[in-house]
Each structure stands twice: as C-alpha cells, then as structure tokens.
Amino acid sequence: MKSLIVASTREGAGKTSLSIGLAQAVGKRFGYVKPLGDRPLYRKKRLWDYDAALFSKLLQLDQEPETASLGFDHSKLRYMHDRRSVFAALREKLEAAGDERDVVLIECGKDLSYGASVFLDPLTISHETGHPVVIVAGGSENTIADDLAFVKRFVGTDEANVAGVIINKVVHLDDFRESHLPEIEKLGIEVLGVMPHQEELATRSVSTIADRLFARVLAGENGLGRTIRNVAVGAMSVDAAMSDALITAPDKLVITSGDRSDMILAAIDAGGTSAIVLTNNIVPPANVISRATEAGIPLLLVPGDTYAIALQVEHIEPLLTAEDESKITLLRDLVVEHLRVQAIEELVS
C-alpha cells in the first residue's frame, strides 16, 4: 500500500487545497491520514480535524474522521507516545486508512517543522516510513526561493525521500516561469508544477467566520453559505461610510458594534453585504434584526470589541467545504493544467 506525504514550507501555502486537487486529478483511490491535526472541530465531546472531515466526505471514506489523527496538541502525543509507539500508532492508522484504497495521502502540518518534537513532522515521517514527500511551497517569489534553497541545502537524501516540490499561489505565472523557475531548477530540485493564484479560492464563507468567532447567529441563517471577498469595519459615521467604496463593495463582511443601529441599517441598505458581525455582545433592537431577517443577511453576534474581532477575522483562513463544488472542480482543473500529474502518479504506483 502506497502513501504520499504532502508537506508545506509555511502556513498558508495551500497544501490542503492542492491535496484536494491532487486527489481529484490523480487516477487513484485515496485514503487520508492527518497525523497531527491542526484544524480542530469539537463536536459532541469528540475532536476531529476539519480537513479530515472534508476529505472523508470528498473521498467518500468509510473511516470516521476522528480516527484520522493521532492527536491535536503536542501534549497529548507526549502523554501517550514515545518515538517507537508513535510510529506504531501511525502505521496502524495508515493500514486502516489504506483498506481498499490505492494510496494514503498523509497531510502534514502547517510547515516543515510542525510536529518535530513529537516525531510527526513530514521529513521524520518520510525518514521513518520511506514514503515520498511532496513539498508545497507558497509565499512571495523570494520566500519560495529561500525556502526551497534551504530545504535542498540541509535536507539530505538520508533524512527523507523528498520527491519533488509544487510551487503554489503564484501571482504572476509567466513572470515566475521566466525569472525564478530556472534558478530553482538549477538547485537540482524536482519541480512537479507551478500553480497560479486564484482569487476565487481565497474567499471565505460566512459560516466559516461564524464558526471561528464562536458567533451567535441572530438573523439570516439561510445566508451562512454566502461568500466574503471584502471586509469593512464600520467605525465611522454613516455619512462617511456611504462615501467609502468599501461599504458599497460586493460580497463584504461588515464589522461594527451591536449598538450602531445606523451602521447596521446602512450596511443592509447598501447592498452587497454578505453578513454583519456585531461586536461587544450588544444585541441590536428588534426592528433592526427584523430588517436583516427580511434582507436575508446574517447577523453574527460576538463578545469581543471591534478591534479584536477585526484582527481575528484578518487571520481566518479560507476553508473549503464539501459543498464548494465549483472550487473543487477548479482545483482539479488547475492541477491537471499546471502539474505533472503523470509524474505524481508514478510516485504512488
């Protein structure tokens, strides 16, 4: 039973989305393991990884998502395992995940060192199991070049089986191919493809925001699936807001204090508002809630102040859902167009 380890140089490189694309494009039946979970979902007193749940749905896996990970916090791994037992446990997971599957996709953490102290970083897993690692590199062109040069210089072939790299989220594709790719290839790195940045994949859904902020939904539950492309903080007067392009922008999230009835109504009337986050745990008057309900715009009540919430929203990454069919199809098509799918297939054959 074959496995493919997918790792990333840094957080936000797009490892999970790329893995989804690979699983769709490569003609194999994939199983899934995420040794050290990092996107916890806690439901009904059980903890599982968001990505594991997503893959479980997309790949129609029999396994329960909560069995896809060995743990979420380093403390648990230390509590339960040493080096020997962690790999014994990992092998068990791989075997279970590989049942009636061709390949097990092992998705590692946010960067190359994540999990190293508990032996679950991608290079240690590769060293221990012999499975190939594909590294996803993202960021600015210089960051990508630095990261890959670093890996090449310090990761010997004894350490891990680095089969190649995929360069992801490149803004100026042609420019990159001309200016930077040759330098990277000169390092002797196997480049399995260069993927362009796609605006469509960087959007977030209202339900993701609501979940991550632990928001209470006061109105517009049916709108939780809406997309957010822009974020506006409604701290100014309504007059000033109406002449701000952001308030009239489409697919926006407006963040304002719950007692700013004027701003809330302005956001509802301005059009293009996907949702409104109400800060300071202040519930607006009933007539304002009714207006939002009528307009189908979710009102998300959160306890923090506007600044803290805006900061949190800034850091919430776009997460795919199993219902994002168009995005999933787009990922598959991008992989087919820009990656050496055959080379990847050979890795796992």
Partner 1 sequence: MERLFNPRSVAVIGASTNPAKIGYRVVANMVSSGYRGAIHPVNPKGGKILGWAVHPSVEAIDEEIDLGIVSVPAAGVLPVVEACGKKGVGHLVVLTSGFSEVGKIEEERRIVETAQEYGMRILGPNVFGIYSAAGSLDATFGPGGIVPGRVAIVSQSGALGIAMIGKTASETLGLSALISVGNKSDIDESDLLEYLLTDERTAVILLYIEGVKDGGRLVETLSRVTRQKPVVVIKSGRSKRGAMAAASHTGSLAGADAVFDDVMRQCGVMRAESVQEAFNWVRYLASTPEPTGADAVIVTNGGGIGVLAADACEEFGVGLYDDQAALKDAFSAVMPVFGSSKNPVDLTGQATAEDYAAALDAVLSNDRMHAAIALYCETAMAESAQFETLLRKVYKRYRGIKPIVFSLFGGKSIAATIQRLRSEGVPVFGDVYEAVSPLGALYRSQRRSHRRDDPPTDVKIDLDAARMILRIAGEEGRRFLLAHEAAQFAEIVGLTMPVSKVARTLDQAVEAAESIGYPVVMKVVSRDIIHKSDAGGVVLDLDDKTEVVDAYQAILKRCRAYKLDAVIEGVEVAEMIRPGIETIVGARRDPSFGPVMMFGLGGIYVEVMKDVSFRAAPIGPKTANEMIASIRSYPLLLGVRGESRKDTDAVAGVIETLSHLAVRCPELTDIEINPLVVYDQGEGVRAVDVRILFDAPKGVKRR
Binding site for partner 1 (CB under 8 A): 40, 42, 45-47, 71-73, 75-76, 78-79, 212, 214, 259, 281, 283, 302-304, 308, 312, 315
CB of 229 to partner 1, least distance (A): 23
Q: Which residues contact 332 (CB under 8 A, 6 or more apart)?
A: 21, 24, 25
Residue with tokens 């991008």: 334
CB of 60 to partner 1, least distance (A): 25
Pick the closer one to partner 1 by CB: 21 or 220: 220
The helix (run of H) or strand (run of E) holding residue 341 is: helix 341-347
Pick the closer one to partner 1 by CB: 272 or 303: 303
CB of 37 to partner 1, least distance (A): 8
CB of 13 to partner 1, least distance (A): 19
Pick the closer one to partner 1 by CB: 79 or 154: 79
Q: Which tokens in the block code for residue 259?
A: 């007692």
Pick the closer one to partner 1 by CB: 40 or 271: 40
φ, ψ for residue 282, nearest 5 deg: -100, 120
**What interhelical angle do 122-129 and 83-97 show, nearest 10?**
80
CB of 75 to partner 1, least distance (A): 4
Q: How many other CB atoms are there within 10 angstroms of residue 171's CB atom?
A: 10
CB of 262 to partner 1, least distance (A): 11
Pick the closer one to partner 1 by CB: 256 or 273: 256
CA dist 245 and 243 (Å) reads: 6
CA dist 208 and 214 (Å) reads: 10
Pick the closer one to partner 1 by CB: 30 or 50: 50
